[in-house]
Amino acid sequence: TRADVLVYTGEALTEPLDVVGPVRLVVHVETSAADTDVTAKLLDLHPGGFAQRLCDGLARLRYRGGHERALEVESGTVYEVEIAMWDTAHRFLPGHRIRLEVASSAHPKFAVNLGSGADETTATVGVVARNVLHHNAARPSRLVLAALPHA
C-alpha cells in the first residue's frame, strides 16, 4: 500500500455477509489547500491476499454542495463530505475481510485535482495539500452500507 492511502481492514468474517445496495462514505476532512479530493474504495480482501474492488467514488471538496457551483474551501476548516460509492451486490465469504481505502487521488480513473482552486480546465500548477481525516465522537466519519440478514 502507499503511504498516502488510509487502509481500514476488518477482522476475518466467520459467516457470509451479503451487502446489497448503495454504499457511501461520510468523512470529516480538512485540508491546507484551496481544494482537495477524497476517494474511497470498498474491497473484499480474500484469504490469499487478493483485494477485489467492489465499488468506489470521489468527492471534490469545492463541490460538496453539488456540481452546480463551486464553494470556497477554507484552510483548517473541517467539512463533512459524503462520497457516493455506487451500488453493489456482493457476498463476503467466511475468511474474507472487508477493506476500505481512503485517499485524495485515484488518477487515472478520476481527473487530477491540482489543489489550487483554479479553473480545472486551464490550471497547470498544483499545490501540495495536507489533508486530515477526522474520526472521533464529535466527527464520526463512517462507512454506510446495507447488509442483508443471513438465513
pLDDT 10s digits, 13-66: 999 999 999 999 999 999 999 999 999 999 999 999 999 999 999 999 999 998
User: Do 87 and 8 touch, CB atoms closer than 8 A?
Assistant: no
Contact (CB, 8 A) for 55 and 23:
yes
Phi, psi at 3, each rounded to 5°: -70, -20
Q: Where are the domains of the chain?
A: 6-145
- pLDDT of residue 1 exceeding 70: no
Selected residue with higher pLDDT from 108 and 103: 103
Mean pLDDT calculated for residue range 118-135: 91
- Lowest pLDDT segment from 61-70, 74-83, 105-114, 134-143: 105-114
Q: Domain spanning 6-145 has what CATH number?
A: 2.60.120.260
Instruction: Supply the pLDDT for residue 63.
Output: 95
Residue 47, preceding peptide bond in cis (omega within 30° of 0): no
Q: What confidence score (pLDDT) does residue 151 get?
A: 67
Q: State the pLDDT confidence band at 125, using cuts at 50, 70 and 90.
A: very high
**pLDDT digits 0-9 by tens, 31-42:** 999 999 999 999
Other CB atoms within 10 Å distance of the CB of residue 7:
15
Give the residue from 150, 151, 142 showing the smallest Cα distance to 17: 150
- Of 40, 4, 38, which Cα lies nearest the Cα of 115? 38
pTM equals 0.92
Residue at grid coordinates 445496495: 21
pLDDT digits (tens, 9 = 90+) for 136-149: 999 999 999 999 98
